[in-house]
Structure 1
Amino acid sequence: MTDSSRTSTADDAVDGTALPPPRAPLGPSTWREMAYLLSNFPVGVAAFCVLVVWLVAGIGLSVTVIGLPLLASGLTACRWFGRLERARARALLGIQVAEPSPVRPRHPGFFPWLWTCLKDPVGWRHALYSFVRLPWAILTFALTLVLFFVGWPALPWVARWLSNVDRAMVRGLLSPSDELERRIAELESDRVTVTDTAAADLRRIERDLHDGAQARLVALAMGLGLAKEKLLEDPDAAAAMVDEAHGEVKLALQELRDLARGIHPAILTDRGLGPALTSLAGRCTVPVRAAVDLAERPAPAIEGIAYFTVSELLQNISKHSAARQATVEVWRAEDRLMIQVRDDGRGGARLDGGTGMAGLAERLGSVDGLFVLDSPVGGPTLVTAELPWRARTLNEATGRAVRG
């Protein structure tokens, strides 16, 4: 293999996963690194000047109403500068640095935004990057410029070592903090999903109560009032009305039982997931075989999510699949609860098909679960759901991310 082919391989191997080794020839990577090192000076000077003016003005005016908002806006601007610097490093140094999580205030409004921006660690690290870059930018600019005119034999090695320091600086100060930050962002997004789901469930319960049991009970009260008026003048008519009211009472009680079962079935609380799913399978319009192999019960929250996941999947089978039979299998695999629901229907189900599959996927994702749909046209349809054996709090989840 010739020297030129070895050089080409080394140049092409710069993928951002490790610091590239030094090499002598003036290949394309060297010219890009020189461009980066020479552009450090104007970029560094501009960023440093803006940073100093911003900090002096923001801290000096912090006793007034505009000081803290100025600091918060400056930190947001530092994030934008960091994005530009990551793009410059990506184009000229060949490194890939993930974008940090965006600033997400927990509540709407000016003051939540202000407080979130002021304690944003990403913005402060980007400000630190702008501050420490000036002396380094001056040094790299001077060395590169001098070697460009008088030190060609040493220029490739020096450019590579200097740019390696830049690579380390970009990764250290402009990358996401760590896996913890990304995990917190995911959990915050999941929390929004869970909140929206809970709000939708509350609206559904309110609508069912208003349109179902409440309307029936109002009609029942009116019927009993009329029966009371007719009790003396027309006992037979009053008896018929009371008999009709008795039937309405039974229907109202059934509607309330169905509503309570939709909130949390008593059989699930009392006997666990196996009997609850067996009962659920017995009410499906399609013959369902349920096989639950669990030596112990998972966390109550996970048990409830598993139950309602299977419930909605069986409803979809009844309404949309035209299946002749279905199976539900549940078992434990280490610290995960596994669910598989299969039917021999016509298939063609999609996550965006309007059958609630996307909502199920979001609900499982909110508790660190998985939802996989395999439904070719013509069938069969297989849904695999995976849940953690026990629900984790935010502290447990972030602790796991740190340990991982």
Structure 2
Amino acid sequence: MASDRSPDPAPPRPAQGLTAVLRAPFTGRTWREFGWILLGLPLSAVLFSLAVSLVSAGAGLLVTFLGVPLLAGTFAVLRAAGAVERARAGALLGVEVPAPEPVRARRRGFLAWVGGMLKSGASWRHLLYAVLHFPWAVFTFSLLVTVWASGWALLAYPLWHWVFPAFTGQEGLQLYDDGTGGHYLDTPLEIAGTGVVGLLLTLAAPYLARGLNQVDRLMVTGLLGPSRLASRVVELESDRGVVVDTAAADLRRIERDLHDGAQARLVALAMDLGLAKEKLAEDPRAAATMVDEAHAEVKVALKELRDLARGIHPAVLTDRGLDAALSSLASRCTVPVAVEVDLSSRPAQAIEGIAYFTVSELLQNVSKHAGATVASVDVWRAEDRLMLRVADDGRGGADPAAGSGLAGLAERLAAVDGILAVDSPAGGPTSVVAELPWRD
């Protein structure tokens, strides 16, 4: 049980940080950030104008039937514009925003579509984005263009300051005018200082753009993507599918175990008892031998049935809780396992069962794949979470992303808002931590 974990990257050295700052104005990311802001103003102006004019017209026509479909059509246009903005955010800001929940209509037809469009929360969020993003786009465009243009102009001032005395009769760039002639940047020190100020503005502009675009990222994600409720519904639907698939797989496993194990033994037992009954009169000793063999088969069948019942839900877990159940589980592991359970109360039976089977599967991995000599199981409560940790000193190297049993276990835990974290570099040791919600 392990996952590949690369070492933490070393902190950047000062020379590397300075190089990154000097290169920032010329990187592709900077130009994409600038492109978002420069394109944002005209696109936001068009979107704002469409939204305000169409919504105003639709609201004004609500006294007639035309206002309602006009508002629905406006929302459809805004949704299409939202798709363009999401694509633009993905290309320029690196933000992949999924499409919002589709319009849901109980019936087919135009009127049902109009009603669904007006009732959709995503439609109103798109309208809010169109109204709010325009003033923000004006602000960011004005600020960034001013800083960016001023920075490059001042940075290049030592190269073009000669323009003033040559063509305007001034000594240099006028800093201010107090009515007595003002002050001009014309001395070598002032010219050099102007270039330094321009350099600072030029280097600061990329980071200013990134900071301003953080607001845009939040707006696109929050207003043009799916709502938290819709995302949660999709997540729950996916989790429900995992639970159904898991339950179906468990039923198939139980059916297979019964068919191949206890059922086959009971069929053979019935045949042996039939033969013993036939031989009872003519050869009592042979019949007694066959009965003894059948008795042994009954014991094996009973053991298989007990193991199967324990695999469905162990009685010791119901009667005595996780401490006793995990201790019993550890006693059947092929390596010595130290169990420590620190719980002042018991969680809900469903959570308790999931915790038991999680540890069971992890210990099976220890027995089959880890090559360990010792292992440990720790269980404790951290606020509203039930924590499990299974560790061993084995070889490590397993990767949940490779489609192993750990991946299926992680899906099962996620179905109940649980988390599975695997930490094991190649060569071990291995530590697997599972978090489950605590439910009384």
Q: 1:190 aligns with which of 231, 239, 242?
A: 239
Matches within 5 A, 1:285-300: 285-300=334-349
TM-superposed deviation, 1:87: 2.6
Q: Which amino acid aligns with 2:40?
A: E
TM-superposed deviation, 1:369: 1.1
**Partner secondary structure for residue 98 of structure 2:** coil
Q: 2:423 aligns with which of 369, 374, 388?
A: 374
2:355 aligns with 306
Q: Which consecutive unaligned segments of at least 5 residues does structure 1 have?
A: 1-7, 17-26, 61-70, 106-110, 145-152, 154-165, 392-404
Q: 1:326 aligns with which of 358, 375, 395?
A: 375
Matches within 5 A, 1:4-403: 31-37=38-44, 40=47, 82-88=82-88, 98-100=97-99, 124-125=120-121, 174-177=224-227, 179-353=228-402, 355-390=404-439
**Partner secondary structure for residue 331 of structure 1:** strand
Q: Which amino acid aligns with 1:35?
A: P
**Partner secondary structure for residue 228 of structure 1:** helix
Over 3 Å counting, the alpha-carbon distance change for 1:249 and 1:370 in structure 2 is: same
Q: Percent sequence identity over matched residues?
A: 58
Structure with greater contact order relative to length (CA < 8 Å, sep ≥ 6): 2
**Partner secondary structure for residue 327 of structure 1:** strand
Distance in structure 2 (CA, Å) of the matches to 1:182 and 1:215: 48
Distance in structure 1 (CA, Å) of the matches to 2:51 and 2:103: 29
Q: Which amino acid aligns with 1:287?
A: P
- CA contact 2:239–2:416 (8 Å) conserved in 1: yes
- CA contact 1:341–1:382 (8 Å) conserved in 2: yes
Over 3 Å counting, the alpha-carbon distance change for 1:374 and 1:90 in structure 2 is: closer
Q: Which amino acid aligns with 1:278?
A: S
- CA contact 2:79–2:126 (8 Å) conserved in 1: no
Distance in structure 2 (CA, Å) of the matches to 1:209 and 1:104: 48
Distance in structure 2 (CA, Å) of the matches to 1:104 and 1:195: 27
Over 3 Å counting, the alpha-carbon distance change for 1:78 and 1:34 in structure 2 is: closer
**Partner secondary structure for residue 233 of structure 1:** coil
1:96-126 CA distance string (max 9 Å, x none): 6832455699xxxxx9999x99997799456
Over 3 Å counting, the alpha-carbon distance change for 1:167 and 1:214 in structure 2 is: closer
Distance in structure 2 (CA, Å) of the matches to 1:104 and 1:269: 46
- CA contact 1:78–1:123 (8 Å) conserved in 2: no
Distance in structure 2 (CA, Å) of the matches to 1:308 and 1:167: 41
- CA contact 1:352–1:358 (8 Å) conserved in 2: yes
**Partner secondary structure for residue 400 of structure 2:** coil
1:133-175 CA distance string (max 9 Å, x none): 99x8xxx9xxx9xxxxxxxx9xxxxxxxxxxxx9999777633
**Partner secondary structure for residue 340 of structure 1:** strand
Q: Which consecutive unaligned segments of at least 5 residues does structure 2 have?
A: 1-24, 59-64, 139-145, 147-215
- CA contact 1:44–1:133 (8 Å) conserved in 2: no
- CA contact 1:83–1:99 (8 Å) conserved in 2: no
Over 3 Å counting, the alpha-carbon distance change for 1:169 and 1:258 in structure 2 is: closer
1:286-320 CA distance string (max 9 Å, x none): 01111111111111111101111111111111111
Relative to the length of structure 2, the TM-score reads 0.60
**Partner secondary structure for residue 389 of structure 2:** strand
- CA contact 1:79–1:123 (8 Å) conserved in 2: no
- CA contact 2:129–2:224 (8 Å) conserved in 1: no
- CA contact 2:396–2:429 (8 Å) conserved in 1: yes
TM-superposed deviation, 1:359: 1.1
TM-superposed deviation, 1:323: 0.8
2:11 aligns with none
- CA contact 2:410–2:420 (8 Å) conserved in 1: yes
**Partner secondary structure for residue 202 of structure 1:** helix
Over 3 Å counting, the alpha-carbon distance change for 1:383 and 1:173 in structure 2 is: closer
Distance in structure 2 (CA, Å) of the matches to 1:193 and 1:112: 30
Q: Which one is further off, 30-39 or 372-381? A: 30-39
**Partner secondary structure for residue 364 of structure 1:** helix
**Partner secondary structure for residue 378 of structure 2:** strand
Over 3 Å counting, the alpha-carbon distance change for 1:123 and 1:169 in structure 2 is: farther
How many residues matched? 322
- CA contact 1:321–1:347 (8 Å) conserved in 2: yes
1:362-398 CA distance string (max 9 Å, x none): 111111111111111111111111111117xxxxxxx
**Partner secondary structure for residue 346 of structure 2:** coil
Root-mean-square deviation (Å): 4.8
